[in-house]
A and B are shown apart, each in its own frame.
Chain A
Amino acid sequence: MHNISRRRFLQQVSAWSAGLAVAAPLFRIAPNRAMAAVDAAPMLTVGQGTDYVALVAKVLEPLGGIGAFVKSGDRVVVKPNIGWDRTPQQAANTHPDVVKALVQLALDAGAKKVSVFDRTCNDARRSYANSGIQPAVESIGSDKVECSFVDDRKFVPVRIENGRSLNEWTFYKDALDVDCYINVPIAKHHSRAKLTLGLKNVMGVMGGKRGDIHPDLGQCIADLNMVVAPKLTVIDATRILLRNGPTGGNLADVEQRDTLIASRDIVATDAYATHKLFNLDPRDIPAVTAAYDCGMGQMDLDKMNVVEV
C-alpha cells in the first residue's frame, strides 16, 4: 500500500473526475527498443549437460554472467513458453528447471522483482501447472517472485514505429515496463512458422487476436520484436519437438538434446538454433530473415562469435 494524504486523494479524484470526459487511458508505454546499434559479430554461447541448472549458469558465463543483464534493484521478466497444457516430457513448453534456474540467478543478482508469465493457448491454470513451470518457480519460495496468470486488462496499445506489416498492437504492460526482459523459448516445430524459437516466443506478450497475424507471420513477428526487446535470449533445447508442433503430445516426436543456446542477439540465437538443432537453413525461417532484414540482429552463422562451453 502506498500512503497518500486525504487532501491529495481528493485533489486527484476531483481532477480526474473533471478530466474524465476528455481523458484517454493514462499509460502509453513507448517502445523500449530504440533500435540500438546491433553488434555485427554477436557472441553466442552453446552448452550441453544434463544438469540444467548448472548449464544455465555455464552458458551465461562467457556473456558476462547474469550480472551483465540484471542489476541490483531491477524488475525482471523471465518469459518462457507456457502456451500449452502439456507435460515437460512432451516438449511443448520451456523446461521448468531452466526457467527456475534463470529466476534464481536473477534473484541472486539482486533483482527487486522477477515475474514469470505467458499468455497461454490452452487453459492458463492447467498450462501453468502441467508445464511444471508454476510449481518450479513457486518452489523458490521468494516473495520477490511472481508467477501469475496474464491479466486481460494489462494489454496496452503500442505504436510500432518501424513496423512493416504491423503498425499498432496491444502488448502486455508488465512485459514492457521492466528493466530486464529474459526470453526463454523452447525450440520446436511449427507448421506455419516452420520453427518456433526466440522471435516467435514474443507472441506470448501480445494481446488481441493472435491468429490475425498468421498470413504474414514472419514479418509480423519481426515487427512485434521491435517493441519487446529481450536483453537476453536463452533457447531451451534440452529436448526439442521435431514434428506435430507446436502442441506435440507424442513422445516419439521429441528428441533429447540437453542443449542451451544463449545470446544478447535474438536473431543470432534463432539462426544458430535453426541450423544446429534442426539442420535447417535460417534463410528458410521467415521470422529470422524478416528480423535480419529489419536490422535487428545477425543471422549469418559465419559472423557470429560462437563460444562452446
Chain B
Amino acid sequence: MSRIEAEQLSKKPRRSTLGNFRGRGWRWARRVTQWVVLVVFFYLFRHTQLTLDPPPEHANIFFRLDPLVAASAMLAGKAMIAGMLMSLIVIAATLLLGRVFCGWFCPLGTLLDTLGPALRVGKRNKENKPASKRWWRGGGYALLTVLLIGAVLGLPLVGFFDPFAILMRGAAFAIDPLLSWSTYEGSSWLYLNAPESVTGISEPIYAFMRDNNILAFERAAFIGAWISAGFLLVIFLLERVEKRFWCRNLCPLGAMLGLFARLSPMRRKPDLSCPGCGDCMTTCRMGAFNEAGKLEPQACTLCMDCASDCTHGIAAFAWRRPAWLNRRTKTNAPRTIPLPIRGQTPSIDLSRRAFLGSCATGIALPLVSAAAMNAGLAKKPKLLRPAGSVSADEFLNRCIRCGQCMKVCPTNGLQPTILEAGLAGMFSPQLIPRRGCCEWNCNLCGQVCPTAAIALLPLETKQTIAIGRAEFDKDRCIPYADRENCLVCEEHCPVPDKAIRLSTVMIELEDGQSMELQEPFVEPDLCIGCGICENVCPLEGAAGVRVSPL
C-alpha cells in the first residue's frame, strides 16, 4: 500500500467531530499528566501513614480505580464491594479513549518510561522491534485468564501481578525503609560524630526531609522486603529486553484494559504505518504495530509519540465509528474498503491454544491448592489478622496484597506473611506483636484497605474486637520465673478495666525476708489481643506473655 492510499484511508469516513489529536502538544500533555499522576501517587504513598490532618482515607484511590483488582476481589469474594465501583471510571475511559490509563496515568508505566533510558544503558540494539511476535507477547492475556478463573474458583492471585500492588509493595516494603533508614543512620552518625560545621549543614537537610514528609515518620522495616524489591527489580530489568516489556507482554491490568480498548472509537489515522517511512513502527514503545503495519488499539497506550513525530504530519488520533458498530449494517452496505482490517474488532495476541491452556491452569491451580489443603499438606493457618478483617476463609479472597495496611500501621506491627498463610497467601498482613502492637485508638488499616478485606470500624467497635488472646508463659515471665516484680505488661494494657490483672502473693526471699510479689494473669473476656503486652515485655527474645490467634 502506498502513502497515498494510506492518506485516503485516513480521510475516508470522518465521523469525528471533536477534531484530531495531533502534534507535539498532545505528547507534552501526556508527559505532564504522567508526572502529575506520579507526584500524586507518591503524595498519597507518603500519606499512607498516620497523619491527623488530612487523614489517609483516600490514600487507596489508585487501587479503587483498578478494574482488575475490583473484578478479582468481587469474583473471589462473591460480593459487591461498593468502594471498588470507582474502577468503572477507568473502564469507561478505556472504552472511550483506549488504553490511555497505561500511557498517561499508570505510575509504574511512568517510572518505566522515565528510568528506561538509564536501564538500557550499554544495550547495543536500542531499536524497538515492531509488532514483536515473540512467544511471550500474549502473556498478559494468559495471566488475566488464570487470575480471573482462579479468583472465581477460590485462589485469587491478583496481588502477585497487579501493577499497583507490585509497585506499592516494592516502594513500601523495600525502597521507603531503605531511604528512611539510610538517611536516619547517616545523619545520626554525623550528628553524633561530626563537628558543628558539618552538622550545621546536615541537620537542616535532615530536619527538612523529616518535617516535609519526605521521610516516613516512623522508620519501618518489613519481613521479606527483598522479595517485594525483587518483583519490582525484575520488571525494571525486563526493560532491557523491550521497552515497556511488562506493559506489553505481562501486565494483566493492561491486558484487561486492552480488551476494552478494542471497542474504543479512538483510532489512529491512518491506522497503518506508512511504508514510506515506517518510523512509527520502530519508535512505538508498546510495539503496537502488527506485522501488517497496523496499529493494534489493544496494545496502543496513546502515548502520542507517533502522532508527534510523524515526519509527514499526517498521523493523528481521532474518534471514529468503531468496527463493532459497523457490523450491524454490514450486510446492507457495500464494503467500500476491501481490507481485512476494517469491519472486525481486532483480535488479541492470545492463541486459542494458549487461551485454553490458561483456562486449564486457572482451573487446576485452585484444585491443587484445595487438594493440598484436604490432604493435610497445607493447613488453614491461624494468624493474627488486623481487627475488622473478614473471616479467615474470606480474607485471602478479598486481600489484594497491596500492602497499604502494613505501610500505614503506625507501630510497624503489621507485617507481610511469607509462607505462614501458604504460598498463595504471601504478602497478606499479620500482626507480629513483638515488632509492634495494634494501637488502641487506631483503625488506619481499615481506612486504607481498598477492598474492605479489613472493614473500617468505628474506634469504639474496633476496641471491642478480639483478634487474639494473651497468654503468660510462666517459664519465662519474670514474676513467675524469676520471682521478681515487673508488670510492664499490665501498665501498658489499654483496656480501661485492664485485661491483665494481678494477684498478690507473699514470697520468702533467700535472706529470710518476705516480699510482696504481684503475679499477672489474663482476664480472657477482656483481652482483645492487641499485643502491647507482648511488645513491651522487657525479656530478651521471646516475650513472657504472647498473643495467640483465637
Contacts and interface: CB of A to CB of B under 8 A. Distances in A.
Interface of A: 1-2, 4, 8-9, 12-13, 15-16, 20, 23, 25-26, 85, 121-123, 125-126, 129-130, 152-153, 190-192, 209-212, 214-215, 217, 244, 246-250, 253
B441 A211 contact: no
A2 B410 contact: no
B491 A190 contact: yes
Contacts of B314: none
B438 to A, nearest CB: 11
Interface stretch (B103-111, B151-159, B190-198, B351-359): B190-198
Select the residue from B198, B217, B494 with max chain A CB neighbours within 10 A: B494
B193 A121 contact: no
4 residue pairs, one from A and one from B, having the closest CB atoms: A211-B538, A249-B496, A250-B496, A211-B488
A211 B486 contact: yes
Contacts of A215: 478, 482, 484-486
Nearest to B192: A25
A246 B441 contact: no
Interface of B: 50, 52, 187-188, 191-198, 200, 204, 217, 410-411, 439-442, 478, 482, 484-488, 490-498, 502, 518, 536-538
A168 to B, nearest CB: 17
7 contacts: A12-B198, A16-B195, A85-B441, A122-B441, A192-B487, A192-B518, A214-B487
B496 A130 contact: no
A183 B188 CA distance: 28
A231 B443 CA distance: 41
Given A16-B198, A85-B441, A244-B498, A153 B492 contact: no
A212 B487 contact: no
A23 B189 CA distance: 12
Contacts of B196: 2, 4, 12
Contacts of B502: 191
A244 B497 contact: yes
Contact of B439 (A2, A4, A126, A210): A126
Nearest to A129: B52
Contact of B191 (A153, A192, A217, A246): A153
A13 B194 CA distance: 8
Contacts of B492: 121, 247
B488 A214 contact: yes
A37 B133 CA distance: 90
A25 B411 contact: no
A191 B538 contact: no
A192 B498 contact: no
A214 B195 contact: no
Given A4-B197, A246-B491, A192 B496 contact: no
A85 B379 CA distance: 38
Given A25-B192, A126-B441, A13 B487 contact: no
A192 B491 contact: yes
B192 A191 contact: no
Contacts of A25: 192-193
A20 B50 contact: no
B220 to A, nearest CB: 13
B485 A214 contact: yes
Contacts of B496: 244, 247-250, 253
B540 to A, nearest CB: 9
Given A129-B52, A215-B484, A215-B486, A26 B193 contact: yes
Contacts of B485: 192, 214-215, 217
A250 B497 CA distance: 7
A274 to B, nearest CB: 18
Given A13-B195, A13-B197, A215-B478, A126 B493 contact: no
Given A121-B536, A191-B491, A247-B494, 9 more contacts: A8-B197, A12-B195, A122-B439, A123-B442, A212-B538, A214-B487, A214-B488, A214-B538, A249-B494
Nearest to A23: B193
A192 B439 CA distance: 22
A161 B410 CA distance: 38
A26 B490 contact: no
Nearest to B463: A249
A244 B500 CA distance: 10
A25 B492 CA distance: 33
Contacts of B493: 247
Contacts of B411: 123
A85 B50 contact: no
Contacts of A152: 188
Contact of B188 (A16, A153, A244): A153
Contacts of B198: 12-13, 16
Contacts of B410: 123, 125-126
Contacts of B441: 85, 122, 126, 130
Contacts of A2: 196, 200
A212 B486 CA distance: 9
B439 A191 contact: no
A37 B193 CA distance: 36
Contacts of B490: 191-192
Contacts of A15: 195
A249 B192 contact: no
A78 B493 CA distance: 27
A119 to B, nearest CB: 13
Contacts of B491: 190-192, 246-247
A191 B491 CA distance: 7
A121 B52 CA distance: 18
A214 B538 CA distance: 9
A190 B484 CA distance: 17
Given A191-B490, A191-B491, A126 B197 contact: no
B488 A153 contact: no
A9 B194 CA distance: 12
Nearest to A153: B188
B197 A85 contact: no
Given A192-B485, A248-B496, A123 B200 contact: no
Contacts of B498: 244
A211 B484 CA distance: 13
Given A25-B193, A244-B497, A123 B439 contact: yes
A248 B490 CA distance: 11
Given A122-B439, A209-B538, A20 B487 contact: no
A9 B537 contact: no
A218 to B, nearest CB: 10
Contacts of B495: 249
* Residue from A2, A122, A209, A244 whose CB has the most chain B CB atoms within 10 Å: A122
A190 B195 CA distance: 43
Given A125-B50, A129-B52, A130-B441, A191 B197 contact: no
Contacts of B192: 25-26, 153
Contacts of B200: 1-2, 4
A88 B304 CA distance: 59
B147 to A, nearest CB: 37
Nearest to A20: B193
A49 B198 CA distance: 51
Nearest to A24: B193
Nearest to A5: B197
Nearest to A246: B491
Contacts of B478: 215
A152 B198 CA distance: 20
A45 to B, nearest CB: 30
A191 B518 contact: yes
